[in-house]
Amino acid sequence: MSPLKINLKQDPLPALLAQDSTALTYFVRRDLLDEDTGGVKDLWELKEPRKILMKQGADGSWRYPGKNREVFRDTNYDLLETFRNLCVLIAKYCFNRRNPAIASAAEYVFSCQTPEGDIRGILGNQYMPYYHGAILELLIEADYAEDERVRLGLEWLLSLRQEDGGWVVPMQTVPSKERTGDIWRAAPIRADPSRHSSQLATGMVLRAFAAHPAYRSREAVRRAGDMLKARFFKSDRYNDRKAPKYWTKFQYPFWWSNLLTALDSLSKIGYTSKDNDIARGLDWFLKNQEEDGLWETSYGKAKDQEMRAWIGLAVCRVFKRLEDAK
């Protein structure tokens, strides 16, 4: 087995390879050790993805459990559940559009795209650039980068930027007392572009651009990256996940913005470890690496050691990408 050529204090390989996970081992050997692990289709036949696919509906979606559809009729929770399952299938098992289940799910997602270009529904009829960006990232990773509907969605995001270069969820700017039941079905609110961006929204949106080879080098994307890295370890300007502690709360597959998701995107966009903000982010991981070579999730789920391993893999991918870029 080849050594892991990244600059970490503790070798994470023993802990990563100790997990009883065929998928995790596949990616460790492929992405960190540069071994030829063959195609990904064998991962599609594993127990967990097959279990997920059994619950997929005929229209390509997954039904969200436990919500009264009459009470929550303005919210498309099935789109949220579909996003959740696509996160697992694409990020952990490398599913792509050549799998009929992903092709069907993608068509369901695209059915939620408006003529403006945005994917809508999780916030009722209101704009949701953060979920929109995260969903586009998955579609791009599943080989939809050249799809015109993806391009339309990315251009919509560019049209919705704040003046400081990032993004905000427009509903974040609406006082809580004004978020009445009617607002979710009303015409979409567009935030005042002079307001400060949200690092939560900017981080999730940036993942879509970082995943797309034709968009990641754009000046507008770089400007958003500058805004995001300058906010490392600071409070968000809006109430959603506002406290600085959220920078170091990790989950995999990626969902909310945090230090790891930000560094993952920024390393794809072209930032290097010579950048002071990037170096500051990497330094946090160096200082907080555990004795087994991995990192805590900060969510208090001690039993989920496999989650720690997936996060460790993601951290190592960032370090290796930056090392290879030197």
For 135-174, the pLDDT digits (tens) are: 999 999 999 999 999 999 999 999 999 999 999 999 999 9
Q: Quick check: helix, strand or coil at residue 113?
A: strand
pLDDT class of 175 with cuts at 50, 70, 90: confident
Distance CA 244, CA 119 (A): 29
- 66: Cα separation from own chain's centroid: 25
pLDDT surpasses 90 at 179: no
pLDDT of 302: 52
> pLDDT > 90: what percent of the chain?
84
Tell whether pTM > 0.85: yes
For 34-78, give the secondary structure using H, E and C: CCCCCCCHHHHCCHHHHHHHCCECCCCCECCCCCCCCCCCCCCHH
Structure tokens at 116: 């403006």
Distance CA 78, CA 81 (A): 5
pLDDT of 325: 78
Other CB atoms within a 10 A radius of the CB of residue 252 amount to: 22
pLDDT of 1: 45
What's the pLDDT tens digit per position in 245-285? 999 999 999 999 999 999 999 999 999 999 999 999 999 99
pLDDT of 305: 81
What's the pLDDT tens digit per position in 117-138? 999 999 999 999 999 999 999 9
pLDDT surpasses 90 at 203: yes
pLDDT of 240: 86
pLDDT surpasses 80 at 229: yes
Distance CA 281, CA 293 (A): 17
Q: Quick check: helix, strand or coil at residue 201?
A: helix
Q: Quick check: helix, strand or coil at residue 239?
A: coil
Q: From residue 40, how far is each of 28, 96, 118, 211, 222 by CA, in Å?
A: 13, 10, 31, 19, 32
pLDDT surpasses 50 at 78: yes
Q: Quick check: helix, strand or coil at residue 203?
A: helix
Q: Quick check: helix, strand or coil at residue 119?
A: strand
pLDDT of 6: 77
pLDDT class of 104 with cuts at 50, 70, 90: very high
Rounded to the nearest integer, the mean pLDDT of the chain is 93
pLDDT of 176: 82
> pLDDT > 70: what percent of the chain?
95
Other CB atoms within a 10 A radius of the CB of residue 70 amount to: 6
pLDDT surpasses 90 at 239: no
CB < 8 Å & 24+ apart, contacts of 61-68? 61/105, 61/108
Distance CA 258, CA 245 (A): 9
pLDDT of 66: 75
Token look-up 């998928």 returns: 23
Query: Residues 6 or more apart from 270 whose CB is under 8 A from it?
Result: 216, 217, 222, 325
